[in-house]
Amino acid sequence: MRNWIAGCLVACQSWAATEERPVAIKAARMFDARSGKVVAPGLVVVKGGSILAAGRDAAVPVGAEVIDLGDATLLPGFMDAHTHLSGQASNDWKQDRLDWLEQTSAERALRATEYLGKTLRAGFTTCRNLGADELIDVALRNAVQAGKIVGPRILAATSGMGTTGGHCDPTNAIRPGLLREREGGVAEGPEAMREGVRWRIKHGADVIKVCATGGVLSKNADVDSPQLTQAELDALVDEAHARKRKVAAHAHGDEGARRATAAGVDSIEHGSFLTDKTLDLMKKKGTILVPTLLAVEGVRERYEKGNLQPESIPKFRAAYERLHKMAKRAIEKGVRIAFGTDAGVFAHGRNAEEFRLLVAAGMRPADALRAATLTNAELFGVQDRLGVLEAGKLADVIAVPGDPTQDIRQTERVFFVMKGGVVIRNDRAAPAR
């Protein structure tokens, strides 16, 4: 009996020692998100899910497991500020609409686990989910946190808020009486906006999303008209900020975006028709722009395949060229840009393609990388633990071939992903014998 107990104690001690063994990740380079520069060589030392040391001053501890990735660049885990992880557009918009009506929330959540895995393997370790029905994003977030499913950390918004017939009204173009008319994100008037914020926070919202203007893919008449009054936006933002929640405003149109900025939202999503006046106001107030350039590329692909609902075609045509030109002006003016894609409009896992579009619009590659790391960490309110490779931060480490500051498309070739100290993917690992 004593021998058995002694054996167990030795085994437990050995297991604990193995668990606490530090891991040293080496590569030719490392991206410093604070300075926006690449340093060489790259070294990140991880223990217990956190970073012990990183950069030139780091050293490989005695007894550490070494992961040598060779000619590669280490980066903080990417973040996407605008995703819809609970769904994904198919090649048939009519079938998508039917599935939305017929599939249970449980089935949709199970399908979403595939999208989470693809997103994480692409190097995106943290995402804001800006809109999901039936609290699916809250369920996904909780399952990831509990270790039940594999995926990125999720900041959940639950359903977006808007007005009757607006972009966030899920009953648009559905026969009256078939669904509850005030289902989802519909609210009217300042007090109802406050009530909607409180309801979402009660049910687990980390961030509040509001639809300040029309949208491209919803069944309403236009893309750019304002859909909330100044008083409604003021009340919504005041309530959210009082409860320590940030606000993301879907806004293609200029007037709606200006009202949202004046109300104090933390980010403007899309921004297709923003004028210089509104961009200047955003810069003055520190409002962050999330242009989601990949979203319109995804819609363009569907349009060219004949898979865009008729109501969306003129709205898409109006927004497509304007969005790219607006992003260029915003970058030139120095408006803060965060990285977001609207993933779900296109296939999940393609998120990194946004980098090349930001660079094409005028961002330096290093600034595009910072948008997806340090800037997003600040926007998400998690800069104390994520966004840079520094001692004390969570061990979210990814690697790409070569140097992404010289070739931004290397971000589309992520081959190593560690989240919270756990290796999710290492395509250069030696095969098991």
The pTM for the full model equals: 0.91
**Buried/exposed 218-238: b ≥16 CB within 10 Å, e otherwise:** bbbebbbebbbeeebbbbbbb
Q: Quick one: pLDDT at residue 129?
A: 98
Q: Quick one: pLDDT at residue 179?
A: 64
| Cα–Cα distance for residue pair 211/313, rounded to 1 Å | 20
> Tens-of-pLDDT digits for all 433 residues of the chain?
344 334 443 333 333 434 579 999 999 999 999 999 999 999 999 999 999 999 988 999 999 999 999 999 999 999 999 999 999 987 877 777 777 777 888 999 999 999 999 999 999 999 999 999 899 999 999 999 999 999 999 999 999 998 876 676 666 656 566 666 444 578 899 999 999 999 999 999 999 999 999 887 777 768 888 999 999 999 999 999 999 999 999 999 999 999 999 999 999 999 999 999 999 999 999 999 999 999 999 999 998 988 888 888 888 888 888 999 999 999 999 999 999 999 999 999 999 999 999 999 999 999 999 999 999 999 999 999 999 999 999 999 999 999 999 999 999 999 999 999 999 999 988 765 5
Give all strands (DSSP E) within 159-313, no chain letters.
207-211, 246-251, 267-270, 288-290
Q: Quick one: pLDDT at residue 356?
A: 98
**Strand pairing category for 124-129 and 78-83:** parallel
Q: Quick one: pLDDT at residue 16?
A: 40
3-state DSSP assignment of residue 294: helix
Q: Quick one: pLDDT at residue 12?
A: 38
Q: Quick one: pLDDT at residue 10?
A: 37
The string of DSSP letters for 129-195 reads E---GGGHHHHHHHHHHTTSS---EEEE--S-BB-TTSTT-TTTTS-BTTB-TT-TTB--SHHHHHH
Per the CB < 8 A criterion, the answer to whether 162 and 115 are in contact is: no
Complete domains list, the chain, with CATH: 13-76+388-426 (2.30.40.10), 78-380 (3.20.20.140)
Q: Quick one: pLDDT at residue 171?
A: 62
